[in-house]
Chains A and B, each alone.
Chain A
Amino acid sequence: MPYNCIVLVKQVPDTAHITGQAMKEDGTVNRAALPAIFNPEDLNALEMALQVRERHGGRVTVLTMGPPRAAEILREALYRGADQVILLSDKRFAGSDTLATSYALKCAVEHVGDYDIVFCGRQAIDGDTAQVGPQVAEKLGIPQITYAESIEALEAQYIVAWRAFPRGREKVRCSLPCLLTVVGSANQPRPPSARRMMAYKLAATPLEYAALLEQYNEFESAAALDAYLAERGLQIPLWDADDVGADTTWLGLGGSPTKVLKVDFVVVERQESKELPATGEGTTILVRELIDEYIL
């Protein structure tokens, strides 16, 4: 039996490769200096959803909430095999913490409708909170399977999955619909397909039309471009808060209980240190001193 999957993904700054310019003098993060990437564990979530479709049929819809630029990862999702992608973008989402974000995503998932499994990465590398998945599940009123590593079986209205922990694993059986957060060890995400890259290169949200019109002068107007994209299934839907029926008091800074009081750049206080030579004599001085001070 086919299963409809929705994958929630996020474009994140590449925090694993932070360089000097990434931090401003005042200790804030210079996002512009960081490359933006597909959150790694969200790729594992997408791969798991694609495998469900290959085995059982159904659709894979990829949804991201973010600025206009986040359409980049939606195209990447199309290259890797997604059936449909949606950008959830609205200035009123700006400043949302995990609670407000999960509310917006919940509204969008319900607007997609008719889903069996929602997939998320375990956590995003910019915040490492791992909160949005469970919060979306709670708002949808469905069970969650966090740290999902593999799906053993899908049988009618049930899923059997393995959860991975640092020191063990657990097999669970859960009714559908449910939400899974997927760990990095789950699978090896497939690379973008060259054929699909050709096919979806022009896929765009309306927010990107201006740039496309500049690049391709054969289109006389935005309407002409829109018609061209529509004919080929290359329109990426853009949804705002009103489209998904969100109560705007629950969004953005106003809908976010957490406030950032301050952000400090990590300043290392230099330690008074004793340098010892890399010889037997040096290590003997060291060891004796440590023994005298009851450290060894």
Chain B
Amino acid sequence: MTQDVWVFIEQEEGTITDVSLELLSKGRSLGDELGGRVCALLLGHRIDHLAQTAIHQGADVVLLADHPELARYRTLPYARVATDLVRERQPAIFLLGATPTGRDLAPRIASAVRAGLTADCTELKIGSFTHRGETYEQLLYQIRPAFGGNVVATIVNPHMHPQMATVRPGVMRRGEPDTARRGAVERIAPQFAPGDLALQVLERQMWPPLCDLTGASIVVAGGAGVGSRENFQRLYELARVLGGEVGASRAAVDAGFVEPERQVGQTGVTVRPRLYIACGISGAVQHRAGMDQAGTIIAINSDPNAPIFDIAHYKIVGDLNQVIPQMIRSYRENAK
């Protein structure tokens, strides 16, 4: 077994997804701590130009498999290439984004190579583990919320390798690319069995993103306390004036006030904006798990005992239908 850290590079139409870049940054720091290399596993067709991006983001080696059958993500051809490589080269750690693709691919590989896999990690660390009198050093601590965000579990895989984890997008910090970094690109020639091509994609419809919550530096989020779809318009206006995006708690999504895509929290997206304005959000752990890393948190709630106030830097107890328009006026009067 090596001490290498592998990162699956998810690419869509010739662009590397943000979570893969975040994982390269994280993989870099884990690799440095373990004294191992960081390998980017890059699969696709006509994607040579992405190898340098991966290197600039922290990879030492790019394992590049270019094949027409890999042009669009499909479980079996991708799993074939990844599984064969893992068996042959034995990485210590293998990280994938907890995206629809990563969550489809990772368990398939883990099952084939009999590795432990932890889903949806929010933190990764290196540490030791003692079990039945035996101590294992330099293991990957795979940390994730469980039971609806009520607990945080730390998982380790002491015996079977690689230690595999999927990681939530938006959680790991993405470092600045270093264009001076140099690395090796190694080409892989994939070998497919006929059964690997059992599934064909006949048609694909993707719609443009409604919002970019993870990339927003200001998020104005509403909860059940907003009360209606109409009242949510005030949040949209505040977000527009401040140059931010509108997010929501699960309660607001379930009530039909906003689209599911805007959900922040354990089962939604994780955000880390400069400013988070929580309006009419009580602050269940479920929601806090997705936003408590925000730089500054403002909470507006009519209930003075709402748990969201425990993590807020600024609290305003009052009716958001009055507070938000006042805030817009104050901003217009004071902004330069």
Residues in chain A within 8 A of chain B (CB atoms): 13, 15-16, 18, 22-23, 27-29, 97-99, 102, 125-135, 137-139, 141, 143-147, 160, 165-175, 178, 256-266, 268-280, 282-284, 286-288, 290-291, 293, 295-296
Contacts and interface: CB of A to CB of B under 8 A. Distances in A.
Nearest to A126: B147
A284 B231 CA distance: 22
Main secondary structure on chain A at its contact with chain B?
mixed
A102 B110 CA distance: 11
Q: Which 9 A-B pairs have the closest CB atoms?
A: A278-B318, A257-B116, A168-B206, A257-B160, A138-B111, A129-B119, A258-B116, A135-B111, A134-B107
A99 B297 contact: no
Contacts of A160: 202
Contacts of A287: 327, 330-331, 334-335
A145 B200 CA distance: 11
B103 A99 contact: no
B198 A143 contact: yes
Contacts of B155: 258-261
Contacts of A134: 75, 104, 107-108, 111
Interface string B305-336: 00101111111111100110011011101111
A83 B75 CA distance: 31
A22 B204 CA distance: 43
Contacts of A257: 114-116, 157, 159-160
Contacts of A145: 199
A128 B151 CA distance: 13
Given A165-B100, A266-B150, A258 B315 contact: no
A134 to B, nearest CB: 4
B195 to A, nearest CB: 8
A262 B123 CA distance: 14
B101 to A, nearest CB: 9
23 contacts: A15-B147, A99-B116, A135-B110, A138-B108, A138-B112, A167-B207, A167-B210, A168-B204, A259-B157, A261-B155, A265-B151, A266-B288, A266-B289, A268-B288, A268-B311, A276-B314, A276-B315, A277-B316, A277-B318, A278-B317, A278-B326, A284-B334, A296-B335
A175 B157 CA distance: 35
Contacts of A13: 147
A160 B129 CA distance: 47
Q: Find the residue from B118, B157, B195, B198 having the highest chain A CB count within 10 A.
A: B198
Contact of B117 (A169, A258, A263, A265): A258
A250 B333 CA distance: 68
Given A134-B107, A266-B151, A288-B330, 19 more contacts: A29-B147, A99-B110, A130-B103, A131-B103, A131-B106, A134-B104, A138-B111, A141-B195, A143-B199, A146-B104, A166-B261, A170-B204, A171-B204, A172-B202, A264-B153, A270-B310, A271-B311, A287-B331, A295-B274
B261 A167 contact: yes
Given A144-B104, A261-B129, A283-B327, A98 B204 contact: no
A173 B208 CA distance: 25
B248 to A, nearest CB: 14
A22 to B, nearest CB: 7
A128 B153 CA distance: 13
A3 B200 CA distance: 21
B256 interface: no
Interface string B43-58: 0000000000000000
A296 B119 contact: no
Interface string B243-267: 0000000000000000011000001
Nearest to A147: B100
B203 interface: yes
B175 interface: no
Contacts of B285: 266
Contacts of B331: 287, 296
Nearest to A289: B314
B233 to A, nearest CB: 18
